[in-house]
Amino acid sequence: MNMLVDGEWRTDAYESTNEEGEFERQKTPFRDWIRDEPGARFQPESGRYHLYVSYACPWAHRTLLVRSLKGLEDAISVDVVDPFRDDDGWQFTPEKDGCTEDSLYGSDFLRELYVEADPDATCRVTVPVLWDKKEETIVNNESREILRMLDTEFDDVANRDVDLFPEGYRDAVDQIMDDIYEPINNGVYRAGFAKKQSAYDTAVTELFDALERWDEILGEQRYLAGDRLTEADIAMFTTLVRFDQVYHTHFMCNKQFIHQYDNLWPYLRDLYQTPGVAETVRMGHIKEHYYTTHPDVTPSRLIAVGPDLDFGREHDRAGLAGGPPNALLTQPQ
Ligand SMILES: N[C@@H](CCC(=O)N[C@@H](CS)C(=O)NCC(=O)O)C(=O)O
């Protein structure tokens, strides 16, 4: 697989699976924080920060969603890479629909930004990237942390009516995000990239057990943490919205479609119809990326046709009560 080693681009540098055939996600190296505090190195200034994303990527999608929901479009600029990724990694192809140039430096490849930030970088070149235009460096490239920063540190410029990490819900949100990460968010990758039957079986069993559990919970309450939309829903949404069209077929997560669940499917439509969400979903980029970028999974690079889903259909969830946020924490796993 491709990565930077001491600032040099290598196409044979790491194996993504271990000896048991299990997919192992690499650690993310840039972990600074924007803080709304006097003396902080990275202050939450409007116009200072930039996101490099792919519409295809569920992790990058989290950051686009929070930017949109919090009304940070004017404060934080964005560039979008080509959904197709080959041995050169993510690249900028502004001539392609929905893609942009690197508006800051005119780079051809995302890896150039990583080397600019750290000439000796040894890491995968991933999206999302939160870039600081002032210090010309990467602040952070871990989606969960970027999501949190954009949500909590930009109160002076953001829409304050939207708070995705509300007081009273914080422990629940963090716990739910931990709980859904391994079986669901990363679980689809663990299934799709497994190299042994046992690794696939484990991933797919954990994935559908978790989906069934959340389907039940969402029969009683509107959102994952109760009666309020939170960061946990953002994290769940970016996996669910890709599920039927990509993960089901491409990653063999095919025990059941999301649109066959009683509650997960209306929940997904409810989130999709939340103002600011639909415009962040580009299914063309999503499908092109997955089906054409993992030749060991889909060697033909053919893009599967279906299913055709109506995310705009009535969801009937507005009347669901919700309940106290911490009730979930006491439920058996
Ligand atoms: N931990 C990272 C993971 C990001 C990630 O894996 N992004 C994928 C796209 S979906 C990527 O850029 N992969 C390129 C590579 O691994 O070389 C996050 O959540 O931000």
3-class state of residue 42 by DSSP: strand
Atom index in ligand 1 nearest the CA of residue 85 equals 14
Q: How far is the CA of 265 from the centre of ligand 1 (A)?
A: 26
Residue 74, burial from CB neighbour count under 10 angstroms (0-12, 13-18, 19+):
exposed
For residue 93, the one-letter residue type is T
Residue-wise pLDDT tens digits, 85-133: 999 999 999 999 999 999 999 999 999 999 999 999 999 999 999 999 9
Closest CA to 157 of 79, 45, 68: 45
How do strand 3-5 and strand 8-10 relate by DSSP bridges?
A: antiparallel
Whether 57 sits among the annotated catalytic residues: the reply is yes
3-class state of residue 12 by DSSP: coil
User: Whose Cα sits closest to atom 8 in ligand 1?
Assistant: 126
- In order, the DSSP letters of 296-320 are TT-TT-PPP------TTS----TT-
Residue-wise pLDDT tens digits, 243-258: 999 999 999 999 999 9
The more confident residue out of 325 and 182 is 182
Residue-wise pLDDT tens digits, 42-54: 999 999 999 999 9
What pLDDT sits at residue 21? Answer: 82
What pLDDT sits at residue 14? Answer: 67
Q: Which of 55, 57, 99, 253 is catalytic?
A: 57
Residue with tokens 């962040």, as numbered in its chain: 280
Q: pTM, whole model, 2 decimals?
A: 0.94
Dist. CA 44–CA 291, nearest whole Å:
37
Counting ligand 1 atoms within 8 A of each CB, the residue from 54, 62, 63, 124 with the most, and so the one to mutate, is 124
